[in-house]
Amino acid sequence: MSDTEHFVRDDVAGFLAMLEQLGRPGVEELPLDEGRAGMRAMGTIAEAEPRELAVIRDLTCPGPDGDIPLRFYDTKETREPGPVVLFLHGGGFVIGDLEVYHSLCTEISAVLDLPVISVDYRLAPEHPFPAAPDDCEAAARWVASSPKELGRDVTGLIVTGDSAGGNLTIVTTNALGADKADVPVVLQAPIYPVAGDVAETQSFQDFAEGFLLTGAAMSWFTQQYRGDPLSHRVNPMIEEAKDIPPTVVITAGLDPLRDSGREYAQHLIARGVDTTYLEAPGSIHGFATLRKAIPSAQGDIHALLDAMKLMLRRHGHIA
């Protein structure tokens, strides 16, 4: 199928044209430190400004291989007991960090009016699989324990994240379904996640070139991560997970990973999990952190957050 047969939003087309004119090399062609710097630089150019919040501070929690850096966001200095959002960033398990996702985390906290904890888990290739899921699970269990450092009485976890962080969202949620933390995961919201083997999907064939995330970059990320493709902590649909909470999934219409997210939502619906599936038609992978360059992405993020609020209200976790 040719690219011309796919609907592309005007602002997305403009952004892709700008990238083509810049002729920037793919992340797989760059030294590792340049790839990481490039993702941060893209954020300063293409992402919306952060919201002002009452609380933004860095802290750490114990991890399996030393302390894990975190960033704590909240719209209120103090609050009544309630759920807390655990945010797990994207970047192919290799190039993301707290700074790239800072503005998005302020948006999530402001719109949901909830605390958000962003997790700076260890990155590959220095720390290959299973370092990332180990750190995310450790952070989730720490937040669930209502640690004094948060000054919050945590009643439940809302786990969310994009791309690789969408994978880690599912994997972390499944881990806490199998081996309970102090409070349950009350909602998961993977954003254009890697939920299974993407290479055989139609969307991977259709959008592997020309839509920001490429097939070559995906192959490179996979090589750096060195995950076991037969492990449910890499491909979470391999095993039947226990106690899956209500779920909101969002994908992008022009994303190589689109069909992976679709298949995961279908998998949950078939199992009877309360699931909302959203798609951003005509948009690309990464839209959540490109809201200045792609203004329509702000509406997609708000659609996701509105769906999350509706699900939380329906199950009695927020007023």
Q: At 5, is the pLDDT very low, low, confident or very high (cuts 50, 70, 90)? A: confident
What is the percent of the chain where pLDDT is above 70? 99
- Alpha carbons 63 and 70: distance in angstroms, whole number: 11
3-state secondary structure (DSSP) of residue 138: helix
Across 211-238, average pLDDT: 96
**Domain boundaries along the sequence of the chain:** 3-314
3-state secondary structure (DSSP) of residue 46: helix
What is the percent of the chain where pLDDT is above 90? 95
- Alpha carbons 314 and 196: distance in angstroms, whole number: 29
Across 293-319, average pLDDT: 98
- Alpha carbons 50 and 108: distance in angstroms, whole number: 10
Q: At 24, is the pLDDT very low, low, confident or very high (cuts 50, 70, 90)? A: confident
Second-level CATH architecture of 3-314 = 3-Layer(aba) Sandwich (3.40)
Cβ–Cβ under 8 Å, residues 74 and 115: yes
Across 20-32, average pLDDT: 93
- Nearest 5°: CA angle at 312, between 186 and 252? 90
Q: At 181, is the pLDDT very low, low, confident or very high (cuts 50, 70, 90)? A: very high
pTM of the model: 0.97
Q: Does residue 69 have a cis peptide bond before it, meaning omega lies within 30 degrees of 0? A: no
Q: Is the predicted pLDDT of residue 4 greater than 50, yes or no? A: no
Across 172-195, average pLDDT: 98
Cβ–Cβ under 8 Å, residues 54 and 75: yes
- H helix intervals, the chain: 10-22, 32-46, 102-112, 131-144, 164-178, 202-206, 215-225, 258-270, 296-314
Q: Is the predicted pLDDT of residue 134 greater than 50, yes or no? A: yes
Catalytic residues: 163, 255, 285
- Alpha carbons 208 and 274: distance in angstroms, whole number: 31
**H-helix or E-strand spanning residue 145:** none
C-beta pairs of 303-308 under 8 Å, 24+ apart in sequence = 303/250, 303/278, 304/189, 304/191, 304/248, 304/250, 304/278, 305/107, 305/108, 305/111, 305/112, 307/248, 307/250, 307/276, 307/278, 308/112, 308/158, 308/160, 308/187, 308/189, 308/248
What pLDDT digit, counting tens, does each position of 52-90 carry? 999 999 999 999 999 999 999 999 999 999 999 999 999
- Alpha carbons 237 and 240: distance in angstroms, whole number: 7
Cβ–Cβ under 8 Å, residues 92 and 225: yes
Residue 90 tokens read as: 């994207």
Across 217-246, average pLDDT: 95
Q: Which residue has the higher pLDDT, 3 or 169?
A: 169
- Alpha carbons 186 and 173: distance in angstroms, whole number: 9
Cross-strand partners of 185? 157
Of 147, 92, 157, nearest to 121 by C-alpha is 92
Residue 86 tokens read as: 């655990």
pLDDT at 3: 44
Residue 210 tokens read as: 């020309």
Of 185, 204, 187, 221, nearest to 262 by C-alpha is 204
Give the range among 3-17, 58-72, 184-198, 269-283 with minimum mean pLDDT: 3-17
